[in-house]
Amino acid sequence: MIRIRLPEALALVREHFKPLLFTATMDSPQTIQAMLLDELTGESLVLTGLPCGAAVSRAQLSRLISVIELDVIALRPALLERLKERQIAI
């Protein structure tokens, strides 16, 4: 199984959520803390305890993106609505 190192994995997550700004840092050996920011409105969301190690498989990366999306839908759905609106406009 091919593993993706954390910096590359986070770059893929960042690309997935563009044009929102995505940043993340390790908060334990197996979890990260992430923030999504809509630079146009200033709305942001910080998520902690997201499962992610120093290297992940493609399946783990997909689950990480899904967990982030589900948390955003539950806590700040307008962030993803604006993201989808901008992706359609592009």
Q: pLDDT tens-digit profile of 21-43?
A: 999 999 999 999 999 999 999 99
> What is the reported pLDDT for 21?
96
Sequence-separated (6 or more) residues with CB below 8 Å from residue 32? 10, 24, 25, 26, 50, 52
Predicted confidence (pLDDT) per residue in 38-90, tens digit: 999 999 999 999 999 999 999 999 999 999 999 999 999 988 887 777 666 65
Determine the distance from the C-alpha atom of residue 18 to the mean position of all C-alpha atoms in its chain, rounded to a whole number: 10
**What are the sequence ranges of the domains in the chain?**
4-89
Alpha carbon distance 62, 21 (integer Å) = 19
The answer for residues whose C-beta is within 8 angstroms of residue 82's C-beta and 6 or more apart is 38, 40, 41
Q: Which residue has the tokens 């995505």?
A: 22
Residue type, 56: V
pLDDT at 67: 97
